[in-house]
Amino acid sequence: MSARQRAPIDSDRSSLETDDRPVVRILGTHGVPANYGGFETAAEKVGLHLLAAGWRVIVYCQVDGSGEITYDEWHGLERVNVPVSVPGWRGTSLFDLKCVRHVSQFDDLCLVFGYNTGIFNTWQRLKGIPMVINMDGIEWSRSRWGFTRQAILYINERFSAAVGNHLIADHPAIEKYLWTRAPKRKVTMIAYGADEVLEADPAPVRALGLEPGGYLTLICRPIPENSILELVQGFSAKPRSQKLVILGNYDPQGDEYHRQVMEAASEDVLFVGAIFDPAIVQPLRFHSALYMHGHTVGGTNPSLVEALGAGNAVLAHDNVYNRWTAGAGQSYFTTAEEVEAALDEILESPDRLAEMSAAARERYLSGLTWYQIGEQYRILLDRYLPKNVKKIRNGRR
């Protein structure tokens, strides 16, 4: 192996000349530990799985500020901390560019989450650096981005499909879509995972004035494509014995859609703000009687998988993404009237809720655990390790 291939991530680290571990560099996320979104959680969970399987895992992390790149470790994952002082998506683009420049010093296999860096990743492909790219959902089609960002995303998607050695789809429908962008042999479907929650302290639930089993949850970004208005209208059509707890930041003064949602809400709907602390969110999920999921696009949704891992009964928007993820044992809707009818049926039947909860756990265990997902990543990534790395692993120096 060349010196460039064997170079440690910074000059102060000890020599890795005798380190025969396969190496993967993870890009495209804000980094670890995960405290931002689904891709960050995937990077953390897959990274830790690969680490336990004997890999060396290097994760690129965005940090606020300016100055030089720094290096440290978190739970055995090596972190390349890239400072960025520009806010918003422009700062993220600058971070992505800096990551690609840094990673191109090495020949290591790259696992890229998302296609935001598609144009930048062309440089890695020209240098012969192997890349496996998780293509996320059909992000460019979301109207909330506006024309300019939609166009940027569309172009990057095309570049990623062309320059990636292999593409990951997180849902069968996304896999079929990617077949229009790349040969079938170049696309593999690997879903999103979640932790299983078998018990949870009810104290955080009671601290919000709730009782276990006495409420429903709705956790998502407050935008029209997540069907929040229909869910709130259906729930609020009549008095309920349960509460509906909605997580997220709502600004009725500054956002017309937020105003419509809050005006449609009955007194049984509680807006508790954005809560990201897992020590609160996990108990809220686990002790919820039902999880309401209105997402209409986006492949395998992390929040829906997390609900299944917590054994939640689910009422979801009726589309190909949600039906595949949640399975046949759950309930589905398309209109506010259907939400009302479904809740009338489900909430008055403890047996139905129990059946849906059992079906949720069965679906989760059938292929959505992080161990199962991590193994699928490991097997796929192993195919794209540089050939000289495989020779070393097989004892043929």
User: In order of start, what are the domains of the chain with their CATH numbers?
Assistant: 3-193+370-393 (3.40.50.2000), 203-365 (3.40.50.2000)
pLDDT attached to residue 5? 39
Residue 145 has pLDDT above 70, yes or no: no
Kindly state the average pLDDT of the residues 312-326: 97
Angle between helix axes 350-365 and 302-309 (nearest 10 degrees) is: 110
Q: How far is the C-alpha of 279 from the C-alpha of 200, rounded, in Å? A: 9
Q: What is the pLDDT of residues 363-381, one digit of tens each?
A: 999 999 999 999 999 999 9
Q: pLDDT above 70 covers what percent of the chain? A: 90
Q: How confident is the model at residue 120 (pLDDT cuts 50, 70, 90)?
A: confident
Kindly state the average pLDDT of the residues 11-31: 73
- For 52, the token pair is 């336990």
Q: How confident is the model at residue 11 (pLDDT cuts 50, 70, 90)?
A: very low
Q: Where are the beta strands (DSSP E) in 67-201?
A: 70-74, 77-84, 109-113, 131-134, 166-169, 187-189
Beta-sheet strand order (sheet of 166-169): 70-74, 77-84, 56-64, 23-27, 109-113, 131-134, 166-169, 187-189
Residue 397 has pLDDT above 50, yes or no: no
Angstrom CA distances, 207 to 276, 285, 289, 341, stand at: 16, 15, 17, 31
Q: Evaluate whether 286 touches 311 at the Cβ level (below 8 Å).
A: yes
Q: pLDDT above 90 covers what percent of the chain? A: 76
Q: Which of 147, 169, 172, 173 is nearest to 160 (CA)?
A: 169
Q: Which of 205, 135, 224 is nearest to 177 (CA)?
A: 135
Q: What is the pLDDT of residues 226-247, one digit of tens each?
A: 999 999 999 999 999 999 999 9
Whole-number average pLDDT of the chain = 90
Beta-sheet strand order (sheet of 243-247): 269-273, 243-247, 215-219, 290-293, 314-317, 331-333
- For 365, the token pair is 């265990």
